[in-house]
Amino acid sequence: MNPSKSASPFTALPPGPTARAQSARRSLAARLSRLPLLAAVFVSIVLAEPAWDLDTELLNQLSETVSRSDSFQDRFDAEVWLLAQSTKLEKFIAEKRDRLEFLRKVHRAASLAGLQPEVVLAVIEIESRFDPYAISSAGAQGLMQVMPFWKNEIGRPDDNLINPEVNLRYGCTILKYYLDKEEGRLADALARYNGSYGQYWYPERVLIAWEKRWR
């Protein structure tokens, strides 16, 4: 099916609760018409649901994940993926050795959490532009801009969120939790991760980065 000739994927969705949400939906639908490969990702977006509260399930998952590690299972596939993504990452990380080591850590953390590594790379690009020392005005830290309160919630106050491996384990676990809560709706999960649920500017930025660079 040619997306440019089909109806907008948003036409069957119920309207949002506010004019602002409706405007955001129309804006995103217009952009999707120019990005047909992304359209399927957004078909199942549900607007204006209440945010999920932190619960024991998430805290247990996070606590378990930050205590574990993983690595590639197939050396050949790993090498192919690392070399392919390294070329794309050169814009952000100059040294090849540093790029390969960074990509290994991303792939390990994403695979452990059950996420696509390419989606995690897109999140990192938008969140920190691959700066492990990035700190937001709200206090979010590191590559995936994790808020420090998570450390206290799971009883690990001494964890260093500037450490790339620690940050990746936190960020990937939190994103996967929201993805499961949203039953695979990536755009909604990204909005929850960013704290902007019901708005689509953040998921749009991540998904465009994923489509244009990392996919």
Give pLDDT tens digits for 194-212.
999 989 999 999 999 999 9
Q: pLDDT band for position 63 (50/70/90)? A: low
The span from the CA of 151 to the CA of 48, in Å, is 29
Predicted model pTM = 0.69
Q: Is-catalytic flag, 127?
A: yes
- Indicate the pLDDT class of residue 64, thresholds 50, 70 and 90: low
First-to-last C-alpha distance (Å) of the chain = 21
Question: CB-hemisphere CA count at 13 Å for 93?
Answer: 23
Higher pLDDT, residue 63 or 6: 63
Candidates 55, 70, 56, 47; CA nearest to 117 is: 70
Backbone angles phi, psi at 24, to 5 degrees: -65, -40
Catalytic entry in 57, 79, 101, 127: 127
Inter-CA distances, 59 with 2, 27, 96, 116, 188, Å: 43, 35, 36, 22, 20
